[in-house]
């Protein structure tokens, strides 16, 4: 990108831009946007500096996020002539936040790092950084600390149940979400993405909208899986369990259970360091006004509920253990039980499900009777708003259960296991069901045919 037209520090009108010294913030990906906003916030608050934002290469997802945030933008095709250009350096050699600053001729003039410990790695790996690196601190980390005590609130907004661990993903790999979701028991773990506006089409994934503050998901997390970089450093600073992104190709559950959390000390540096350096490069005096952190923004979950599950059942000493994971295309084995809720939009899944469910209906008895005759499923299960549930086997036998805190899906799976492995005689059935660490007795009461 040619920026030669803007070498003078704001001394002329360039493509209609004002005379004030100008800074372009080049956003290369969704994961960079929030961190760059934190760095640039104090600079943009100064009336004598014009700040504009642009999506590198015109990336549609980034452009959408910029629009949702309401920042002043210019198209990438017109992003020439700015006095300075700021961008994140994200190739992974430096563990902390790194911001490169170039002039209008794409010549590096400064490289900001989070801590003094990062200086050597930055100067060794970034062309032009030697002798130009300065410690700017990390305003994102400062914002994390400012709201870290709101963890319980964030977990509630994100829909994380009590006694369930949240695994947060900060991976660039597009298949990481499906891999992790398919390898962690849904009744013991939830999975969230740390990239606002990421893939929200995967059932069971907790995602946040592009305008949301992603650090809320980080604070809510128990485990963080990610690529090398500042996200993992923040997680260690919070004392979270941290795993590298390579673990998604392995036994994720075993890795999560085997790894202990550690706390990494992160020195605090004045958030005004970046503003002072940028103003100095623009030929402006050091600002005397106090530096404020960017206010915490909204938190909006855009997750799609999991409506299809793959289940496995194991019976040992009379106890039936049920494990379920959200369904992912191409990951079903011949031993998996497919359970699909009636709300699932995929008719092929519903047609191939062993169990079809309705988790909330005013007429569970009528629904299971109708469904079992109209579908190819072996078991239909439905629950009323008060918690009473009905289960009808494909041969016509029907049972009920009283309200119970366990979800309908694993309860139906335990009954399915019993009916397949034993018999369908319409008598009262008492089954011990293990779901994660909990074991509960469930009684299925038969209903005589009408």
Q: Which 3 state secondary structure label does DSSP give 177?
A: helix
Q: Evaluate whether 381 touches 412 at the Cβ level (below 8 Å).
A: yes
For residues 137 and 230, what is the distance between their CA atoms, to the nearest angstrom?
12
Contact 396, 338 (CB under 8 A): no
Average pLDDT over residues 23-49: 91
**In the numeric block, which tokens belong to residue 53?**
């934002």
Q: What span, in angstroms and rounded, lies between the C-alpha atoms of 74 and 55?
A: 8
- pLDDT on residue 90: 84
Instruction: Provide mean pLDDT across the span 113-138.
Output: 92
* Segment 199-220, tens digit of pLDDT: 666 789 998 876 778 899 999 9
pLDDT of residue 44: 87
Q: What is the mean pLDDT of residues 137-143?
A: 90
**Residue 346 or residue 13, greater confidence:** 346
Residues 42-62, mean pLDDT to the nearest whole number: 92
Contacts of 137 (CB under 8 A, 6+ apart): 114, 268, 269, 270, 271, 273, 274
**Per-residue pLDDT reduced to its tens digit, 263-287:** 877 766 666 789 999 999 999 998 8
| Measured distance CA(148)–CA(322) in Å, rounded | 35
Enumerate the β-bridge partners of residue 440. Answer: 433
Question: Given pLDDT bands bounded at 50, 70 and 90, which one contains residue 169?
Answer: very high
User: What's the confidence (pLDDT) of residue 11?
Assistant: 32
Q: Which of 37-41, 76-80, 264-268, 273-277 has the lowest mean pLDDT?
A: 264-268
Query: What's the average model confidence in pLDDT over 43-60?
Result: 93
- Provide the pLDDT for residue 134: 94
In this structure, of 5-9, 245-249, 327-331, the range with the lowest mean pLDDT score is 5-9
Quick check: 434 and 322 in contact, CB under 8 A? yes
Per-residue confidence at 297, pLDDT binned at 50, 70, 90? confident
Structure tokens at 201: 């089409």
Give the confidence band of 7 by pLDDT, cuts at 50, 70, 90. very low
Percent of the chain with pLDDT over 70: 93
- Which residues make beta-bridge pairs with 322? 313
The yes-or-no verdict on residue 78 having pLDDT over 80 is yes
Q: Is the pLDDT of residue 167 over 60?
A: yes
CA-based torsion, 361, 415, 308, 190: positive or negative: positive
Maximum distance among all Cα pairs of the chain, rounded to whole angstroms: 89
Please give the pLDDT value at position 19. 62
Model confidence pLDDT, tens digit, residues 387-446: 999 999 999 999 999 999 999 999 999 999 999 998 777 789 999 999 999 999 999 999
What pLDDT does 450 receive? 63
Distance CA 182, CA 203 (A): 11
pLDDT reported for residue 214: 87
Neighbours of 149 (CB within 10 A): 9
* Distances, alpha carbon 343 to alpha carbons 307, 357, 369, 387, 404, in Å: 7, 9, 17, 18, 22
pLDDT (0 to 100) of residue 196: 67
CATH of 144-258, picked from 3.40.50.12580, 2.40.400.10, 3.40.50.300, 3.30.70.920, is: 3.40.50.12580
Tell me the pLDDT of the chain averaged across its residues.
Answer: 89
- Higher pLDDT: 166 or 200? It is 166
pLDDT at position 246 is 93
**Residue 428: what pLDDT?**
93
Q: What percentage of the chain's residues is helix, strand, coil (to nearest 5)?
A: 30, 25, 45
Let me know: does 81 contact 14? Beta carbons within 8 Å: yes
Q: How many CB atoms lie within 10 A of CB 365?
A: 18
């Amino acid at each position: 990108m040619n920026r030669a037209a803007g070498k003078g520090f704001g001394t002329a009108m360039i493509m209609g831009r004002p005379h004030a010294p100008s800074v372009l913030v080049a956003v290369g990906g969704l994961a960079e946007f929030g961190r760059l906003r934190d760095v640039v916030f104090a600079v943009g608050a100064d009336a004598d500096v014009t700040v504009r934002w642009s999506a590198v290469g015109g990336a549609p997802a980034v452009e959408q996020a910029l629009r949702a945030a309401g920042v002043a933008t210019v198209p990438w095709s017109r992003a020439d002539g700015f006095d300075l250009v700021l961008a994140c350096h994200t190739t992974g050699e430096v563990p902390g936040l790194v911001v490169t600053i170039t002039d209008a001729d794409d010549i590096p003039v400064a490289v900001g790092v989070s801590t003094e410990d990062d200086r050597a790695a930055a100067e060794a790996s970034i062309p032009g950084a030697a002798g130009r690196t300065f410690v700017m601190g990390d305003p994102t980390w400062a914002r994390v600390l400012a709201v870290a005590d709101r963890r319980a609130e964030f977990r509630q907004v994100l829909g994380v149940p009590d006694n369930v661990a949240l695994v947060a993903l900060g991976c660039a790999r597009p298949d990481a979400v499906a891999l992790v979701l398919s390898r962690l028991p849904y009744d013991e773990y939830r999975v969230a993405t740390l990239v606002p506006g990421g893939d929200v089409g995967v059932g069971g994934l907790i995602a946040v909208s592009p305008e949301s503050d992603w650090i809320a998901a980080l604070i809510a997390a128990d485990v963080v899986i990610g690529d090398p970089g500042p996200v993992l450093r923040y997680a260690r600073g919070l004392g979270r369990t941290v795993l590298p992104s390579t673990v998604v190709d392995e036994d994720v559950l075993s890795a999560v259970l085997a790894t202990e959390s550690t706390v990494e000390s992160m020195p605090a540096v004045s958030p005004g360091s970046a503003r002072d350096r940028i103003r100095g490069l623009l030929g402006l005096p050091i600002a005397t006004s106090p530096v404020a952190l960017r206010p915490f923004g909204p938190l909006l979950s855009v997750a799609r509920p999991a409506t299809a599950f793959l289940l496995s059942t194991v019976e040992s000493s009379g106890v039936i253990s049920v494990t379920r994971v959200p369904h992912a295309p191409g990951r079903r084995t011949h031993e998996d039980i497919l359970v699909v809720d009636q709300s699932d939009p995929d008719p092929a899944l519903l047609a191939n499900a062993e169990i079809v469910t309705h988790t909330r209906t005013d007429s569970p008895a009528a629904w299971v009777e109708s469904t079992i005759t109209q579908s190819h499923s072996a078991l239909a299960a439905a629950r009323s708003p008060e918690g009473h549930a009905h289960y009808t086997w494909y041969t016509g036998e029907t049972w009920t259960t009283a309200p119970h805190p366990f979800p309908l899906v694993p309860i139906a799976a335990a009954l399915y296991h019993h009916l397949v492995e034993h018999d369908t005689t319409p008598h009262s059935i008492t089954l011990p069901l293990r779901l994660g660490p909990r074991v509960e007795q469930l009684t299925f009461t038969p209903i005589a045919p009408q």
